[in-house]
């Protein structure tokens, strides 16, 4: 299609507060094992552009950081494409050019005439400029920009029914069913006469962020619109009430067979969220509705983690994350069981504000320095390390069916010439009454000497099964799967010792456990499953 994908923001742009000035202080091992990982994967996948971030990394701006751009990204990672700056994230001419920036955006302040003068004066060698131009042209040639002249208009409306269908399918597939007590969902049309659709979020859903996270959309399908369209040819009555006054919502909820409460929170660049709370009125609405209707469903759209002070009071909770323009249709597909939810949480949902922060992490920093003192212990790794039970665990997600794990087996793969690859086989069966997909997750536990978190995700397999159907799921682990970063050799290494393999449905729902050993010659042995 002639489109260059850009991986961003490189690197350690984890906060927006003082993003133009603050410096991230991070150790080498943490950087390699956590924060370089997404960019390593993007480079391996063939990404042709990387955008450097606003912040400093260990005291040096990311867009003129020789260590992160030249030594690591273009050197050790082998990135062949070009580095562009975030908008106005360049701070120099000579240092940026020499230290890895190839393109300044959105316009020439430090490059352009200033770069030309630097080359002519000898401050920036011609060979450096040639390299910058080569990387940009290489990327353009790689995706065929010069082979396929552009004939369209940037302002053309290219939406279509096919695009809407993709947006709807993707949103439904990414909807996470967190809780479903008493099998309130899916909605059985035969047993429902009235549906209460409650909250301002049912009419005006949060489906995007601000700044670069904003997407102009001609029409967003609201939840109320989607649900009414779904039952248009039935006798089911759909009644709506906004967030306030609560009395109106309560009256509607009391007379309904099921109450659907919609809420959400957004985020924007340049500002961090002040807290993880949902709107206070929405929290209160969910509580009062749950008190009068035992079949209350709370549906939350959010760009990240959120708090649920009412979690124990409602039987059903759905995390729709950032669902996009077809939200009303996609959430209706899930609510009525036209789509069996199979998404899993890509984050951990906490019990309270600053649950992690009271131990080691540092935000928003001290004197414009944000020190990543938590090291490797972030997300589910922190909860495991300190034995804290989260509200909902990383990798968690329910289905309208159930799955059984059994017959785990592990052996050295005969197809591996060096016999350094373990094949781990797990039998998964759909033990429920409807078809659905299970997302099996493999976690690795390292020897104590490695000083790693108790478990680290090392594999994901998604399988779709009919009722009663079984399938053998295969995970492959090589020595590369065992690697940790060694700060003495400044390279990856394998630590000898006893390893634990855990397979389950989330980071806190481990179904099967096995083990193996790595000897002093870094060979895998003593496999026990």
Q: Which residues are catalytic?
A: 86
Calculate the CA 284 to chain-centre distance. Answer: 29
Q: Give the position of tokens 């998964």.
A: 428
Which residues, other chains included, contact 120 with Cβ-Cβ below 8 Å and sequence gap of 6+?
none
Do the beta carbons of residue 204 and residue 263 sit within 8 Å?
A: no
Other CB atoms within 10 A of residue 427 CB: 15
Asked if residues 216 and 201 have their Cβ atoms less than 8 Å apart, the reply is no
- Which residues sit opposite 298 in a β-bridge? 261, 317
- Beta-carbon count within 10 A of 209 CB: 16
From CA 500, how far away is CA 513, in angstroms rounded? 7
Q: Which of 356, 432, 338 is nearest to 394 (CA)?
A: 356
Give yes or no for a contact between 323 and 174, defined as CB atoms under 8 angstroms apart: yes
60-61 and 194-198 strand pairing: unpaired
Place of tokens 């399988």: 463
Question: How far apart are the C-alpha atoms of 98 and 109, rounded to whole Å?
Answer: 16
Tokens of 106: 């959105």
Burial class (CB in 10 A: 0-12, 13-18, 19+), 40: middle
């Amino acid at each position: 299609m002639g489109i260059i994908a850009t991986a961003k923001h490189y690197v350690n742009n984890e906060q927006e507060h003082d993003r133009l000035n603050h410096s991230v202080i991070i150790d080498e091992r943490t950087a390699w094992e956590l924060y370089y990982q997404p960019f390593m994967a993007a480079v391996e996948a063939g990404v042709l552009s990387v955008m450097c971030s606003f912040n400093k990394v260990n005291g040096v701006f990311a867009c003129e950081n020789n260590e992160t751009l030249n030594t690591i990204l273009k050197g050790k990672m082998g990135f062949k494409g070009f580095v562009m700056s975030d908008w106005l994230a360049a701070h120099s001419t000579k240092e940026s050019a020499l230290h890895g920036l190839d393109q300044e955006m959105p316009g020439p302040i430090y490059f352009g005439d200033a770069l030309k003068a630097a080359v002519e004066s000898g401050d920036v060698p011609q060979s450096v400029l040639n390299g910058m131009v080569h990387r940009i042209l290489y990327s353009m040639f790689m995706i065929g920009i010069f082979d396929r002249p552009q004939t369209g208009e940037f302002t053309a409306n290219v939406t279509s029914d096919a695009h809407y269908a993709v947006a709807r399918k993707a949103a439904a597939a990414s909807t996470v069913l967190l809780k479903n007590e008493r099998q309130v969902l899916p909605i059985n049309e035969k047993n429902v006469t009235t549906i209460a659709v409650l909250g301002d979020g049912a009419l005006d859903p949060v489906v995007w962020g601000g700044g670069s996270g904003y997407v102009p959309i001609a029409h967003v399908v609201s939840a109320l619109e989607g649900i009414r369209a779904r039952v248009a040819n039935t006798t089911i009555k759909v009644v709506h009430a906004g967030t306030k006054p609560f009395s109106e919502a309560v009256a509607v909820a009391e007379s309904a067979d099921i109450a659907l409460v919609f809420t959400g929170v957004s985020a924007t660049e340049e500002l961090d969220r002040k807290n993880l709370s949902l709107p206070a009125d929405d929290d209160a609405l969910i509580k009062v509705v749950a008190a009068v209707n035992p079949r209350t469903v709370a549906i939350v759209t959010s760009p990240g983690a959120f708090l649920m002070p009412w979690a124990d009071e409602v039987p059903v909770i759905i995390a729709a994350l950032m669902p996009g323009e077809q939200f009303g249709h996609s959430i209706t597909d899930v609510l009525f069981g036209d789509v069996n939810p199979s998404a899993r949480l890509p984050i951990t949902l906490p019990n309270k504000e600053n649950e992690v922060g009271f131990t080691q992490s540092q935000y928003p920093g001290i004197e414009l320095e944000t020190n990543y003192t938590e090291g490797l212990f972030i997300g589910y790794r922190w909860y495991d390390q300190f034995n804290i039970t989260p509200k909902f665990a990383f990798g968690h997600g329910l289905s309208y069916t159930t799955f059984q794990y059994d017959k785990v087996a592990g052996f050295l793969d005969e197809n591996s010439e060096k016999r350094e690859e373990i094949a781990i086989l797990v039998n998964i069966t759909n033990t429920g009454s409807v078809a659905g997909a299970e997302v099996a997750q493999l976690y690795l536990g390292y020897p104590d000497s490695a000083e790693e978190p108790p478990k680290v995700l090392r594999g994901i397999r998604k399988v779709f099964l009919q009722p009663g159907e079984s399938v053998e799921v295969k995970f492959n682990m090589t020595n590369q799967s065992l690697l940790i970063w060694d700060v003495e050799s400044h390279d990856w290494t394998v630590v000898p010792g006893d390893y634990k393999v855990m397979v389950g449905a989330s980071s806190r729902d481990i179904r099967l456990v096995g083990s193996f050993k790595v000897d002093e010659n870094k060979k895998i042995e003593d496999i026990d499953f």
